[in-house]
């Protein structure tokens, strides 16, 4: 439960309390690329996101269960959310075939056929020991037609019901949040408002611990288009349950979504951009008032392409407004040199900085 009188802005899980709103660094295969668990602690990570699809294929859910669960396997004692694998079978499975049963695809590692069903997705996530489990949903192209989107929403609802039924057959639904995993449903509907409403209402009838908004076009849609789609979906989701905007991660989009009432975020932007030398820094000393009231035309941050030649002899910190390990110990020139020579340390230092920027942003937004 979230935002009631007792637990306002707190999400309780088996592996601890998470303060909202929060951002989840992406640990797809059980690791945030280049970082240790200690690094994640140092930047203020409360929770990480790992992926069912990838961990199922390698090293396998049975092996991770044998290791004592994903927390022990990756040496992370805080909460973990696992995605269901629905997006991966859509985006990575070249030969994926969707049916009422689930999604059949070719394992990209060895070519063997695999079938991921709602029940299988939940079973894998339970073996991983996830704190927040996502329902298996059907992801579809943003520019698809209405009939296909309607069919997909109907199927996602049926799959969500199967996920809930399988989950409660394995876990006592009446246990407190700290004694069992949480189960989230995912609102689909593409760009069609009536389908978003239908999906949100049908999932609430099934009943979940929280609700995610999936299937948004976070690449080609404008900020205003994203906020409009998000606002409409949020109007039909309960305020006393966690609300999770999946895959959206530009800083200005996070600020706008928090203003609308979103509690949870994830995105590859801070870690992926860091590995390519694109680093974030604040343009001015910020506080919660400036961030939550900033106009769209007043960006509170800037991006630095640290690999540019102008930083070759720049011995200042990446940002004098940042107290991350990288900024306290290394110069722009040194980080640029490491990335230019493809030293792994460069990617680690850049990733630490970008995640610190994002997690500081969330701390500011919490007030």
Mind listing the pLDDT tens digit for each residue in 33-63? 999 999 999 999 999 999 999 999 999 999 9
How buried is residue 118: exposed, middle or buried, by Cβ count under 10 Å (0-12/13-18/19+)?
Answer: buried
Q: Which fold has domain 10-267?
A: TIM Barrel (3.20.20)
> What is the helix (H) or strand (E) element at residue 147, kind and residue range?
helix 146-170
Mind listing the pLDDT tens digit for each residue in 68-108? 999 999 999 999 999 998 878 777 666 788 899 998 988 88
Mind listing the pLDDT tens digit for each residue in 123-168? 999 999 999 999 999 887 777 899 999 999 999 999 999 999 999 9
**Mean pLDDT for all residues in the chain:** 91
The domain locations on the chain are: 10-267, 274-366
Tokens of 127: 């073996």
- Rounded distance, CA 64 to CA 228, Å? 40
- Rounded distance, CA 95 to CA 107, Å? 10
Mean pLDDT, residues 197-202:
96
- Rounded distance, CA 282 to CA 284, Å? 5
The CA R_g of the chain, rounded to the nearest whole Å, is 20
323 annotated active-site: no
Q: Which residue among the candidates 39, 131, 253, 266 is catalytic per the annotation? A: 266
> What is the helix (H) or strand (E) element at residue 19, kind and residue range?
strand 16-19
Beta bridge partners of 280: 303
- Rounded distance, CA 1 to CA 23, Å? 18
Q: Which residue among the candidates 39, 83, 137, 263 is catalytic per the annotation? A: 83
Query: Is residue 211 helix, strand or coil?
Result: strand
Tokens of 121: 């997705």
Mind listing the pLDDT tens digit for each residue in 322-344? 999 999 999 999 999 999 999 99
Asked whether residue 195 carries a pLDDT value surpassing 90, the answer given is: yes
Asked whether residue 220 carries a pLDDT value surpassing 60, the answer given is: no
- Identify the band that residue 315 occupies on the pLDDT scale cut at 50, 70 and 90: very high
- Identify the band that residue 293 occupies on the pLDDT scale cut at 50, 70 and 90: low
- Percent pLDDT > 70 in the chain is 92
266 annotated active-site: yes
pLDDT number for residue 313: 98
In this prediction the pTM is 0.94
pLDDT number for residue 4: 45
The DSSP call for residue 135 is: P
The DSSP call for residue 285 is: -
């Amino acid at each position: 439960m979230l935002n009631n009188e007792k637990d306002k802005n707190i999400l309780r899980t088996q592996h601890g309390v998470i303060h909202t709103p929060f951002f989840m660094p992406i640990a797809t295969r059980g690791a945030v690329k280049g970082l240790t668990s200690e690094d994640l602690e140092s930047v203020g990570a409360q929770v990480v996101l790992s992926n069912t699809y990838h961990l199922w294929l390698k090293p396998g859910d049975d092996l991770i269960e044998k290791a004592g669960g994903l927390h022990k396997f990756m040496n992370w004692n805080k909460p973990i959310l696992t995605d269901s694998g629905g997006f991966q079978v859509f985006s990575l499975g070249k030969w994926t075939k969707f049916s009422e049963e689930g999604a059949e695809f070719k394992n990209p590692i060895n070519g063997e056929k695999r079938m991921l069903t709602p029940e299988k997705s939940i079973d894998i996530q339970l073996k991983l020991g996830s704190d927040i489990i996502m329902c298996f949903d059907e992801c579809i192209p943003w520019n698809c037609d209405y009939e296909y989107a309607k069919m997909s929403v109907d199927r996602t609802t049926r799959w969500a019901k199967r996920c809930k039924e399988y989950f409660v057959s394995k876990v006592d639904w009446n246990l407190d949040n700290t004694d069992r995993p949480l189960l989230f449903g995912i609102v689909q509907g593409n760009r069609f408002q009536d389908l978003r409403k239908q999906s949100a209402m049908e999932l609430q009838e099934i009943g979940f611990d929280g609700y995610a908004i999936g299937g948004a076009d976070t690449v080609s849609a404008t900020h205003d288009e994203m906020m409009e789609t998000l606002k409409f979906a949020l109007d039909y989701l309960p305020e006393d349950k966690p609300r999770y905007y999946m895959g959206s991660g530009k800083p200005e989009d996070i600020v706008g979504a928090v203003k609308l009432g979103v509690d949870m975020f994830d995105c590859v932007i801070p870690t992926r951009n860091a590995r390519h030398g694109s680093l974030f820094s604040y343009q001015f000393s910020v506080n919660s008032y400036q961030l939550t009231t900033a106009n769209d035309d007043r960006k509170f941050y800037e991006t630095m392409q640290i690999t540019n030649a102008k930083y070759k002899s720049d011995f200042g910190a990446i940002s004098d407004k940042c107290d991350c390990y990288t900024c306290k110990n290394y110069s722009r020139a040194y980080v640029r040199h490491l990335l230019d020579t493809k030293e792994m340390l460069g990617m680690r230092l850049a990733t630490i900085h970008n995640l610190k920027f994002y997690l500081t942003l969330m701390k500011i937004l919490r007030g």
